[in-house]
Amino acid sequence: MGEGINDYTKNMVDLRRHMWMAGVEEELRRLIWQIAVVGKYISAKIHEANRKLAGIKNIYGDDQLSLDCAADDILRSQLQFSGFVREYASEELEDIVKIGSGKEKYIVTADPLDGSSLVETNLAIGTIIGIHKESILDTGRNTMVAALYITYGPLITMIYSAGKGAHEFVLNREGEYVLAQENIKLKEKGSIFSPGGLRRDWIPAHLKFIEQLEKDGYKLRYSGGFVPDINQVLIKKGGLFTYPALQKSPQGKLRLLFELQPMAFIMEQAGGLATDGKEDILSLKVENVNKCSPVYIGSPTEVRMAKQFLN
């Protein structure tokens, strides 16, 4: 707990104060703050939408930006004028785009609205952000300096890490992100798992691994939204999320740059692990922005067990 924060003032710790006390460098603090603010605009867009607006056509049949494209527009325009971002890569764009003068300190990767197909079902969805200092087409361990995700659920929560632990904030009625818990630490072993994909498509080693988890009494928790499913492992302080290699797609479904590396950065800061079954997710080279990878991420015991079954 930072200096001078007691139970009474704990909730008075907003995001900016927390990052300042944690010694996050000023430009990175201001960038993370600006991205957190975008979360409020994206949340407003989600609330504006209804079943029709969640798709391309609105209820009047007019062309309507899909929510994930709208989220990308909001994020990119905020970052363009932040003064801290030279390049931007997004799941919604074909390739990395220059958005600054070229002298700014950071490169930002984004999955602006992951799980957007869940909006019409009113299930939780999220925004995933990676912040890099060097080229993003390198291994994440060398280039990532921070990561955050925002979960749009019954509450709007944000988890960030700038390399000094993983911390949770809740957006309150006044529109402030206030500290909910800091330095989240996973237990060595959890009790929940998200299996990913369809059983009939799994490779044999993944099937055997999941059958072992079921035999060991792990509870299946899978919403189909990567962000809330990962958030559940973090907030429950243990468990495993996986989206495996499938027989027809050996690289699985989830994007290394936009989804897996930011979550791996945060999970490792919380004492967890993240692997593709052999290598650490953060040690994998990002050959191109669309590269996918199988993923096993969560408590050390389950991740190590997965590696045994897969090797």
Q: Where does this chain bind ligand AFP (CB under 6 A)?
A: 114-118, 196-197, 224-226, 243, 253
Rounded CA-CA distance 207/31 in Å is 42
Q: Which residues pair with 274 in a beta bridge?
A: 297
Task: Give least dist CB 209 to ligand AFP, A.
Answer: 17
Task: Give least dist CB 223 to ligand AFP, A.
Answer: 8
Question: What is the full DSSP assignment across 152-198?
Answer: ESSSEEEEEESSS--EEEEE-TTS-EEEEESS----SS-SEEE--S-
What 3-state DSSP class applies to 122?
A: coil
Task: Give least dist CB 118 to ligand AFP, A.
Answer: 6
Of 99 and 233, CB closest to ligand AFP: 233
3 state SS for 195-259: CCCCHHHECHHHHHHHHHHHHCCCEECCCCCHHHHHHHHHHCCCCEEEECCECCCCCCCCEHHHH
Task: Give least dist CB 307 to ligand AFP, A.
Answer: 21
β-strand 106-114 against 85-90: which pairing, if any? parallel
Of 106 and 243, CB closest to ligand AFP: 243
Of 132 and 255, CB closest to ligand AFP: 255
Task: Give least dist CB 185 to ligand AFP, A.
Answer: 24
- The answer to whether 40 touches 174, Cβ cutoff 8 Å, is no
Of 84 and 241, CB closest to ligand AFP: 241
Of 173 and 198, CB closest to ligand AFP: 198
Secondary structure letter of residue 260 according to DSSP: I
Rounded CA-CA distance 70/88 in Å is 16
Task: Give least dist CB 113 to ligand AFP, A.
Answer: 8
Of 103 and 248, CB closest to ligand AFP: 248
